[in-house]
Amino acid sequence: MAAKLKIAIVGVGKMGILHLKKFLVLPDVEITGIIDSDLRHCERVATQFGVKPYRALAELLFDTDAAIVATPTASHYSVVRLAFEAGVHVLVEKPISTNLEQAAELVKLASLNKVIFQVGFLERFRLRKLIAALPFARPQWIEAQRFADTPGREQAHIDVVMDLMIHDIDLVLSLVGEMPSVISAWGLSMNSPLTDIAAARLEFPSGATANLSANRVYDSKIRKLRFFSSEGYVCVDMLANEAKFGVRDNHGNILKQAFRKEIDALAEQASEFVHCVLTKGNSVVSGSDGLASLRVASKIQEKIGNGLCGGVQRGMSDGAHV
């Protein structure tokens, strides 16, 4: 019998525990152990799930093959760098890091150490399932809405662009297949000193355009993506796992179809990570993909302006090249 892949969970807050549950049931996986800055919480989680708690990250990385990094974003760089230097494969929650220089360094380190580097953009796996049979190519117009009715786990530390919008940035980049040449953005603060509501327009060299909006002070959750081309359209509801699309036939008529699928994106992501590590394959969402999304998100933040407060709006840009 082949040896199981040893996986460690670094950070067992809400997201880390969700990861732990998914990896515990995978047949090719053995949970090496868990670690968290809150030692008592770590011990409670370890007892609850029957895994080993660690106090030293270096010791945990020495004992494992791969790590799931679900710590606060500010610590991603230091944790992932140590993992790569130890030859450990990594799946890190989005965004990769708090700044581009650190993120770029991590991508280089992964390549130098020949390890898998996957970034936790769950929506890629959901979208892949919903549009697997999409009958037309690259979209030319994209609209994305991502609204939340409760604060994110890091609302005090990151704005809505990094908290929510970055998911749709990743989806748009994967659909269009190129970086935007022009970015315009707008933002507003309401419940925090950071941007709570944001809108951005991305224009691409191919002529494609995307309008993105994110809001973390709304009264309900919305996760919708719509994209259009000369061949047809697709409307996706990420919360309901539903897709509607219309395709133009040879006579110019639009043929419509709608369906819903049962999708566990977190489980899909976990299986993909294990498969990539075991086969040395390419990840659906690589470190380079995560870096690209971070570049666009950072540019949007720049257009909006930092230090928003008191409901001040900034960044009504007429567009600037990336």
Could you tell me whether strands 242-248 and 254-260 are parallel, antiparallel, or unpaired per DSSP bridges? antiparallel
Q: Is 254 helix (H, G, I), strand (E, B) or coil?
A: strand
CA atoms within 13 A on the CB side of 84: 24
The contacts of residue 111 (CB under 8 Å, 6+ apart) are: none
pTM: 0.91
For residue 316, name the pLDDT band (cuts at 50, 70, 90).
Answer: very low
DSSP letter, residue 263 = -
Using CA atoms, how far apart are residues 68 and 151, in angstroms rounded to an integer? 23
Taking the C-alpha atoms of residue 99 and residue 111, their distance in angstroms, rounded to an integer, is 19
- Point out the least confidently predicted range of 14-18, 119-123, 155-159, 166-170: 155-159
Question: Tens digit of pLDDT for each residue in 70-128?
Answer: 999 999 999 999 999 999 999 999 999 989 999 999 999 999 999 999 999 999 999 99
The 3-class SS string of 169-210 reads HHHHHHHHCCCCCEEEEEEECCCCCCCCEEEEEEECCCCCEE
Tokens of 189: 């603060």
> Can you tell me whether residue 211 is helix, strand or coil?
strand
CB atoms within 10 A of CB 122: 19
- 80: closest CA among 55, 38, 117? 117
- Right CATH for 123-264+296-321 from 3.10.310.10, 3.30.160.160, 3.90.110.10, 3.30.360.10: 3.30.360.10
pLDDT number for residue 268? 96
The three-class DSSP label of residue 296 is helix
For residues 125-140, give the mean pLDDT. 81
Cα separation, 8 vs 169, in Å, equals 29
Q: What is the pLDDT of residue 309?
A: 37
Q: Band the pLDDT of 151: cuts 50, 70, 90.
A: low
| CATH pick for 5-115 out of 3.40.80.10, 3.65.10.10, 3.30.465.10, 3.40.50.720 | 3.40.50.720
Q: Is the pLDDT of residue 322 over 70?
A: no
Provide the residue ranges of all domains of the chain, joining segments of one domain with +: 5-115, 123-264+296-321
CB 225 within 8 A of CB 142: yes
